[in-house]
Amino acid sequence: MVSQEAPLANRARLQFVESLRGLAACQVVLLHYCAAFLPVLARVPGEAHFPGEKWLSHSPLFLLLDGYSSVYLFFVMSGFVLAPSFLHTRQAVGRIVLKRFVRLYLPVLAAFVLALLLLAALPYAKTAALTHARSPWLDFMNHNPMQLQTLLQDGLWNAMLAGYQNLSVFSPWPEVAALMRVAPLETAMNSPMWTLHVEFWGSMLLIVLALAQRCLPGWLSWPLALLLCWCAGTSQFLLFLAGYGLYQLHAAWQAASSRMATPAGAVCVLLGLYICASKQVPVLSAGWAQLGQLGVYHADSDFHWQSQLGALLVFTGALLCVPLQRVLSHPRLVALGRLSFSVYLLHFPVLISLGCLLFALCAPYSYGLAFATSLLLGGAFTFVLAYWFERWIDRQAVTLGRRLGS
């Protein structure tokens, strides 16, 4: 999940990035509520509860809850936002790493504590909801033994540093993963934290690249960039590098504006949205079959590979399409973007606790009413928590990180 402390060149013109964050966070929230209670609509295993769920899940309306692509969009935006911060700083590498670590780690810990409190207050809410929802996705999540050792390991270590099985930076090396105590995802108190692990190590990847670009001649730095791209393979780490490259290309696009930029951007956005909605484009599937053999890291599946490409195209198109940027720069959308990091960190614990409780209470009367009540009231509570979390935790983490890095 992309954080928002890094400065942007010409930030006023790039406020649309904040708005994209906010809209993407809302997609993730909606996806997880649907995965819990309407799994077929979310394209996860489970049974349909309403006629037409499968049809809707393969229609353009799926874009409203395509949190899969939204997560990858976060990674592209991270590379774009962090590039100027890492390229133009005069700070020592140790201070840059410390600043980034503190900025991410403090909100992760605070969100973990809130998750623990919510789940301790409503320990049986998920079980009660499962009797009606029968969602394998919901059943899979949140199986921490709730012992002191496993809780400390999850909150202090796995959530950001070691990661979770098949999603960790250490996964390609089983011996290293065992040494780092990489845990199964189902033991996570707050499962979306796997993205914060990717965010942190993706940031470290960009620090290495920026340092090479600042200190080495071009004939050495560019081969290193290509080597990092090869290592990233088809994984989400490639998206950080793509965002980093888009920042540098964006400066050139601004300097040499063309009448073709807006039409080209609109085409990229539409093509990206089509890929995100379908995730079954044959030519991309063929590409995945070939490219999946390259590099150290790989996309989990063709489904996720196409989600990554769709997200990258959408962001590239938004960079080119100035009219779209103006629409997205509406103050209310920008304000939503400022809450996006907090919403992302908090929505899952609320879903597993309060959301499941509301669903279980209403499901005997009406399944549709139960879903709507859980989503609306659980979502509203998430945004209330996120408002205070952003104010008292997120901002303070940014401030502390800057002080440590200065």
DSSP three-state, residue 158: helix
Rounded CA-CA distance 2/75 in Å is 6
pLDDT tens digits for range 285-302: 998 988 877 889 999 999
Query: Is the pLDDT at 336 greater than 70, yes or no?
Result: yes
Rounded CA-CA distance 157/163 in Å is 8
pLDDT the model gives residue 90: 85
pLDDT tens digits for range 208-231: 999 999 888 877 888 889 999 999
pLDDT tens digits for range 245-293: 999 988 677 655 667 888 999 999 999 999 999 999 999 999 898 887 7
Other C-beta atoms within 10 Å of 17: how many?
A: 23
Phi/psi-derived region of residue 83, left when phi > 0, alpha when psi is between -120 and 50, beta in every other case: alpha
- Report the pLDDT averaged over residues 306-322: 96
Mean pLDDT of the chain: 93
Between the alpha carbon of residue 340 and those of residues 1, 12, 26, 167, 260, the distances in Å are 9, 19, 8, 22, 32
Place 326 in a pLDDT band, splitting at 50, 70 and 90: very high
Expressed in percent and rounded to 5, the helix, strand and coil fractions of the chain are 75, 0, 25
pLDDT tens digits for range 31-52: 999 999 999 999 999 999 999 9
Q: In the numeric block, which tokens belong to residue 3?
A: 């954080």
pLDDT tens digits for range 234-246: 999 999 999 999 9
In DSSP notation, 205-254 reads HHHHHHHHHHHS-HHHHHHHHHHHHHHHTTSTHHHHHHHHHHHHHHHHHH
